[in-house]
Amino acid sequence: MKNLVLFETLLLFCLVVSTRIVSISCLNSDGLSLLSLRKHLDKVPPELTSTWKTNSSESTPCNWFGITCDDSKKVTSLNLTGAGVSGQLGPEVGQIKSLEILDVSSNNLSGMIPSSLGNCSSLVYIDVSENRFSGKIPDTLGSLKSLADLYLYSNSLTGELPKSLFQIPALNYLHVEHNNLTGSIPQNVGEAKEILELRLFDNQFSGTIPESIGNCRKLEILYLHNNKLVGSLPASLNLLESLTDLFVANNSLSGTVRFGSTKCRKLVTLDFSYNQFEGGVPPELGNCSSLDALVIIKCNLSGTIPSSLGMLKNLTVLNLSENRLSESIPAEIGDCSSLSTLKLNNNQLGGQLPSALGKLQKLESLELFENQFSGEIPIEIWKIQSLTQLLVYKNSLTGTLPVEMTKLKNLRIVTIFNNSFSGVIPPGLGLNSNLEILDFIGNNLTGEIPPNLCHGNKLTVFNLGSNQLHGNIPASIGQCKSLSRLILRDNNLSGPLPEFSQNQDLSFLDVNSNKFEGPIPRGLGSCRKLNTINLSRNKLMGAIPPVLGNLQKLRYLNLGVNLLTGLVPPKFGNWKELTTLILSGNRFSGFVPPDRGS
Ligand SMILES: *[C@@H]1O[C@H](CO)[C@@H](O)[C@H](O)[C@H]1NC(C)=O
Ligand SMILES: *[C@@H]1O[C@H](CO)[C@@H](O)[C@H](O)[C@H]1NC(C)=O
Ligand SMILES: *[C@@H]1O[C@H](CO)[C@@H](O)[C@H](O)[C@H]1NC(C)=O
Ligand SMILES: *[C@@H]1O[C@H](CO)[C@@H](O)[C@H](O)[C@H]1NC(C)=O
Ligand SMILES: *[C@@H]1O[C@H](CO)[C@@H](O)[C@H](O)[C@H]1NC(C)=O
Ligand SMILES: *[C@@H]1O[C@H](CO)[C@@H](O)[C@H](O)[C@H]1NC(C)=O
Ligand SMILES: *[C@@H]1O[C@H](CO)[C@@H](O)[C@H](O)[C@H]1NC(C)=O
Ligand SMILES: *[C@@H]1O[C@H](CO)[C@@H](O)[C@H](O)[C@H]1NC(C)=O
Ligand SMILES: *[C@@H]1O[C@H](CO)[C@@H](O)[C@H](O)[C@H]1NC(C)=O
Ligand SMILES: *[C@@H]1O[C@H](CO)[C@@H](O)[C@H](O)[C@H]1NC(C)=O
Ligand SMILES: *[C@@H]1O[C@H](CO)[C@@H](O)[C@H](O)[C@H]1NC(C)=O
Ligand SMILES: *[C@@H]1O[C@H](CO)[C@@H](O)[C@H](O)[C@H]1NC(C)=O
């Protein structure tokens, strides 16, 4: 009230003065401070240029662009977010004593964050994120007793995180990710009793995670990933009852993973990936009943997959790839009824796949490649209608591909290469119009290639190499517009090759070591993306079609060991990218260029 009276007196005085001397400025001190700040800015939007100036009928900056005042006409908010300003944030900002909100995020400001900000004792909210600020975080920010939000992320800040920040009693949000901060996380982090989000990722923090973090009892989000942290996970993390997100991936953490207690019931996402832990996956994680994603990739974990994970009814992603986990998958995993992604790639898991996995009626992606699984894939798994990807390559799986496979209408990718599957490929498979990648190389499959492939024109990779297939290539392959890689090598296939004139995306064709006969298809000359053609070790006859000379991207051409005749076209050898050319073992007349490459 007193302020208001004072202000009105001042205003009256100014009006009196300004009627006499036209150009006098009666701008209050906040306005003058802003004008000083203006001098440090290089580029500003027109709205700022037209309002941030002395104007005889204005004694306050309250109508200026980006400014908000309180009832007593004191500036409480300076908000230039996304305004396209560049230059620096001058120290004069510290003179705007009533400032509660400073938002200069998403601009092109550089230089230091002024330490004078510590003088704006009413500040509740500071956002200088997404600029080019450099230098250290001023220690003085720690004296801002009302500060609740501090966003410094995505700048080029260096130096250590000031200890004083954790003494701010009201601090809720501390986001300093995407900077170049170094040093340890201050030992007094636990003093921040009100902190809800601590985001320190994408920096160069080193040292250990302080045990005192367990005192931040309200902490919901803890992002420490992509730093250089060492040591073990503090046991006190288990005290954080409000925690929903815990990310420590990509550090150099070690020791056993001690996490999971009755207090982790709110945890939704956990990512411990890319560290060097020892020991196993803690069974106590089964207590974290809200878990949606549990990701621990490449952490050197050994032992078995705990059956207690079956208690996680809300889990949608389980990714424990690239560890040293062993023995079989516990049947209880089939109880994770929300699971949509199960990735256990690159471990030492083995035994039979539990048929209980068939209970996962929301499973879309099943990735078990590079393990030692054996036996048949249980028929129950082949009946999961939601399945879109089945990646089980490099195991010791046996048995046949059942007819149930043809009824999985969502199936897009099936990679089963380097196993011991046998029997025929179910003929109805081709009728599935969503198929994109079929990679069956290196099995013991027999019978013929299913007809009607490429129904949906989405098939890009079709690899049946190193099996025992016979019969002709179905005509449908020649109509496959999206086909990029066709590999049928090392089988007993026979008959003519398709014309290939429709396969405009074909880049890799390998049908070597079969019994194909007839001419080299002229249509290949129109597949302009071809970089590899291997037709060797067949019974192809006739001359080399000159149109092959049109293939500018060709790097590898092997026509060796066939029954080809005629003169080698003179254009041969004109390809710019060609590194390998093999024509030997045919019946050409005249000059034949010697084999080159291998
Ligand atoms: C001065 O401020 C008044 C009130 O905000 C505004 O209407 C007027 O256009 C301004 N004059 C100039 C020259 O900017
Ligand atoms: C700043 O202004 C923008 C609109 O221009 C608004 O979305 C944002 O919430 C404001 N910042 C604060 C902290 O109020
Ligand atoms: C940011 O500011 C620098 C000068 O400080 C200038 O060279 C650069 O072009 C600016 N970038 C943008 C996007 O305005
Ligand atoms: C804060 O204000 C005091 C008194 O006005 C002044 O002496 C000091 O230099 C200011 N601090 C900073 C960091 O600007
Ligand atoms: C961090 O520092 C490195 C090397 O000094 C630099 O290449 C990188 O751009 C910096 N990152 C940020 C976010 O400033
Ligand atoms: C790990 O962090 C480093 C920088 O510390 C970064 O270059 C790298 O991309 C990160 N790796 C992953 C997988 O996030
Ligand atoms: C993985 O853990 C074993 C002990 O369990 C240890 O001998 C080995 O050095 C660890 N490997 C890495 C890369 O940390
Ligand atoms: C849940 O946490 C309690 C306390 O830490 C522990 O004793 C128990 O074994 C945990 N339950 C499971 C299933 O791991
Ligand atoms: C699991 O998810 C459902 C639906 O989102 C939710 O209602 C339920 O509370 C969650 N359960 C737990 C234990 O978080
Ligand atoms: C799971 O792990 C694989 C490595 O096997 C990684 O490439 C992938 O991004 C992870 N997926 C998720 C959802 O975490
Ligand atoms: C598949 O196994 C064979 C040996 O049986 C090996 O030569 C080949 O490199 C393997 N393929 C892949 C992709 O690992
Ligand atoms: C295919 O079957 C033969 C004969 O049963 C066996 O010797 C061979 O190892 C099998 N190959 C594969 C890849 O399973």
Quick: pLDDT tens for 308-349.
999 999 999 999 999 999 999 999 999 999 999 999 999 999
Structural domains present in the chain: 496-598 (3.80.10.10)
For residue 51, is pLDDT > 50?
yes
Distance (angstroms) between ligand 5 centre and the Cα of 189 equals 25
**Cβ burial, residue 555 (10 Å; 0-12/13-18/19+):** middle
CA angle 573, 578, 583 (to 5 degrees): 60
Q: Is 287 near ligand 8, meaning CB less than 6 Å away?
A: yes
For residue 586, is pLDDT > 50?
yes
Per-residue confidence band for 16, with pLDDT thresholds at 50, 70 and 90 = very low
> Which residues, other chains included, contact 6 with Cβ-Cβ below 8 Å and sequence gap of 6+?
none
Distance (angstroms) between ligand 7 centre and the Cα of 326 equals 15
Which numbered atom of ligand 5 lies nearest the CA of 178? 13
> 12-21, 71-80, 256-265, 377-386: which range is least confident on average?
12-21
If you take atom 10 of ligand 11, which residue's CA is the nearest one? 418
Per-residue confidence band for 26, with pLDDT thresholds at 50, 70 and 90 = confident
If you take atom 3 of ligand 7, which residue's CA is the nearest one? 278
So what's the pLDDT on residue 72? 93
For residue 214, is pLDDT > 80?
yes
Distance (angstroms) between ligand 9 centre and the Cα of 297 equals 25
Q: Is 290 near ligand 9, meaning CB less than 6 Å away?
A: yes
Beta strands (DSSP E) in 19-120 are 41-43, 67-69, 75-79, 86-88, 101-103, 108-111
For residue 369, is pLDDT > 70?
yes
So what's the pLDDT on residue 572? 67
Distance (angstroms) between ligand 3 centre and the Cα of 84 equals 10
CA angle 191, 197, 203 (to 5 degrees): 95
So what's the pLDDT on residue 109? 98
At 293-306, the pLDDT tens digits run: 999 999 999 999 99
Probe target for ligand 3 pocket from 40, 41, 86, 133, with the most ligand atoms within 8 Å of CB: 86
Distance (angstroms) between ligand 10 centre and the Cα of 129 equals 29
Indicate which ligand has the atom closest to the C-alpha of 284.
8
If you take atom 4 of ligand 10, which residue's CA is the nearest one? 321
Ligand 4: list residues with CB < 6 Å.
94, 115-116, 118-119, 140
Q: Is 444 near ligand 12, meaning CB less than 6 Å away?
A: yes
Indicate which ligand has the atom closest to the C-alpha of 134.
5
For residues 542-557, give the mean pLDDT. Answer: 91
**Cβ burial, residue 547 (10 Å; 0-12/13-18/19+):** middle
Q: What is the largest CA-CA distance in the chain?
A: 110
Indicate which ligand has the atom closest to the C-alpha of 56.
1
Rounded to whole angstroms, the Cα distance separating 506 from 534 reads 13
For residues 79-95, give the mean pLDDT. Answer: 97
For residues 495-512, give the mean pLDDT. Answer: 94
- Give kind and range of the element (H or E) at residue 327: strand 324-327
Do residues 435 and 411 make contact, with C-beta atoms less than 8 angstroms apart?
yes
For residue 11, is pLDDT > 50?
no
**63 Cα distance to chain centroid:** 44
pTM: 0.89
Give the pairing type, strands 75-79 and 67-69. Answer: antiparallel
**Residue 126 identity (one-letter amino acid):** I
Indicate which ligand has the atom closest to the C-alpha of 139.
4
Which numbered atom of ligand 7 lies nearest the CA of 324? 1
Q: Is 344 near ligand 10, meaning CB less than 6 Å away?
A: no
Per-chain mean pLDDT for the chain: 93
If you take atom 3 of ligand 12, which residue's CA is the nearest one? 444
Distance (angstroms) between ligand 3 centre and the Cα of 88 equals 11
If you take atom 8 of ligand 7, which residue's CA is the nearest one? 300
Indicate which ligand has the atom closest to the C-alpha of 144.
4
